Chain A
């Protein structure tokens, strides 16, 4: 299990000693100040770069954010934003609803796991972007094309990690359940799911990142409507302020998605040592 792409730190036997539940206030304030300082420093670097680099390469942060504010009052902006969010959400929902149950089912049978291993390993390693030209020609430059591309790229980590998750039941617990002859439903609910969840979450996290990456990529390279298209369009018109503004919006979207995922993970894995340890930190 150590070689798996597991983001959830393996639970070590030696849990950290319990720490004071809350950080001292002074420490938190200091951290906030240093963080604000780092953000300010980043803006300073950007600002300095904007007038030391050749003209037209990098707009100043002020100009970019003014432009961003102007964009926010234009309906086209919200249309692009909405399309990207909708595509991303639909693709992720599909991958989750299909990938996790299918993966857990396959993983519960060693025959199915072994039989499908090569096929899934191969499909996973095809860079999803390779099929972009094909879906672009067959479907066209639209929402459905991006959705297809994203699903075909993002489902593999979720599926494969779920297969893996189903096989990670703690051997001791499984043995104990067998010898105590616990009912099947109880076993699935209290032993199988909690054991699989951390690994499913890892797959979901990788899948989420890939989903957003592919949504933007499909729009940017495929010319389908959305944030990615707006970035490419701004570049085509040498409109750097607009381009940077849209890159910032994509990053903000990524930030939002990461934060949402983090909150979900903390909620679902409250009991898991990796989350408990972070609380103590």
Chain B
């Protein structure tokens, strides 16, 4: 068992190591302005992102912004999505309008949101929330509608109240789909976060990138790319852990179904 684990780990890790080593040596003697040696990139990465005060200045505003925007998208997406999923006439009537709003590429709204809400924090939160709302909302609608009708019939027979029905049948049943939407939304909110932060001067990763670009600090740009990759990766891992915890019952059920067949 342990041996297998070790072998799996080796399989997953050999290529990344090879690639980094190749990058390191291939770029070691690079004199290109745009493609500096990896050692130089790591230097500026360490200075900008590993030094606690610097890292806090750059990361905290971004994380706060992301948390608020993404959180708002999750809550509103699930609430409104559940409503629209349950009340079919409402969803059907609103479909053309929703399809249109959904089709707007989130970033294209940046100028509009600036005009409407200014250039401060609320505008950025709303922009992130608007862009990442759609995957959550649409998947919630689909998930709620896809509930096994038999389950609802059983709930009717047992005369479960509305609240019980919502919280013990509908939302859990839709949760795998909701999580699928939430995962897409996370990626989108990261993109919009960086874009929104290039407006105004309240710090954050986006502002850092813009500043680096304006001053031609190419090493800092590379460092920021690596930092954003690591940030995204960690967020994904956190997401996966939460998903595994919340959807534990679902996985167990799936496994049971498979072992039966």
Contacts and interface: CB of A to CB of B under 8 A. Distances in A.
A163 B243 CA distance: 22
A240 interface: yes
Given A3-B243, A38-B96, A121-B236, A114 B194 contact: no
Contacts of A255: 99-100, 103
B155 interface: no
Given A127-B232, A131-B225, A254 B150 contact: no
Given A125-B236, A243-B111, A115 B100 contact: no
Interface residues of B, number: 79
Interface string A88-113: 00000000000000000000000100
A157 to B, nearest CB: 8
Contact of B11 (A114, A130, A137, A227): A114
Contacts of B164: none
A250 B108 contact: yes
Given A12-B148, A123-B229, A216 B191 contact: no
B180 interface: yes
Contacts of B109: 247
Of residues A234, A235, A257, which shows the largest number of chain B Cβ atoms within 10 Å of its Cβ?
A235
Nearest to A156: B187
B34 interface: yes
A133 B232 CA distance: 18
Nearest to A111: B11
Interface string B199-210: 000000110011
B93 A133 contact: no
Nearest to B114: A235
B71 to A, nearest CB: 18
B161 interface: no
A5 interface: yes
Contacts of B250: 2
A234 B111 contact: yes
Interface in B158-185: 176-177, 179-180, 183-184
Contacts of B221: 133-134, 137
Contacts of A29: none
Interface string A150-176: 000000000000000000000000000
Interface of A: 2-7, 9, 12, 14, 16, 31, 34-35, 37-39, 42, 53, 57-58, 111, 114-119, 121-134, 136-138, 206, 212-213, 215-217, 220-221, 227-228, 231-232, 234-235, 240, 243-244, 246-247, 250-255, 257-258
Given A134-B221, A138-B34, A250-B108, 12 more contacts: A34-B89, A38-B97, A115-B14, A117-B12, A119-B16, A122-B16, A127-B193, A137-B216, A213-B191, A235-B115, A244-B112, A254-B102
The 9 closest A-B pairs by CB, nearest first: A125-B232, A254-B103, A133-B213, A34-B93, A235-B111, A126-B229, A114-B11, A255-B103, A251-B104
Interface of B: 8, 11-16, 19, 34, 89, 92-97, 99-112, 114-116, 139, 142, 146, 148-150, 176-177, 179-180, 183-184, 187-188, 190-191, 193-195, 198, 205-206, 209-210, 212-213, 216, 218, 221-222, 224-225, 228-229, 231-233, 235-236, 240, 243-244, 247, 250-251, 254
